[in-house]
Amino acid sequence: MVCHAYFHHPAEIPTEVDDAGLVLDRMVAVETSLPLAEAALEAVLDDPAATTSLLDRIRDIEAEPTLLGASSHLLTIAHSA
């Protein structure tokens, strides 16, 4: 069995969106580049203030262009022209 995969560079996506006749709204990283051990995450989620702080930090960097390539998956949000 032969498997093929294509790994996009984040800079390629706006052109592909445009070629599809769409208007790019934003790209965000699906996986964060903020590493957390599972035990640490559980402790953070048990503390509402820590959870809010973590989510705020993730939102701050999820669309940072210099970090998009650090995520294994990107979400591209676009709309028709």
CB-based contact 44:54 (threshold 8 Å): yes
Position 56 scores a pLDDT of: 92
Position 33 scores a pLDDT of: 62
CA atoms of 4 and 1, how far apart (whole Å): 10
Angle between helices 38-45 and 48-61 (to 10 degrees): 120
Could you tell me the pTM of the whole model? 0.73
* Burial category of 29 from C-beta neighbours within 10 Å (exposed 0-12, middle 13-18, buried 19 and up): buried
pLDDT in tens, 5-63: 888 899 999 999 999 999 999 999 988 766 666 668 888 899 999 999 988 988 888 88
CA atoms of 74 and 42, how far apart (whole Å): 25
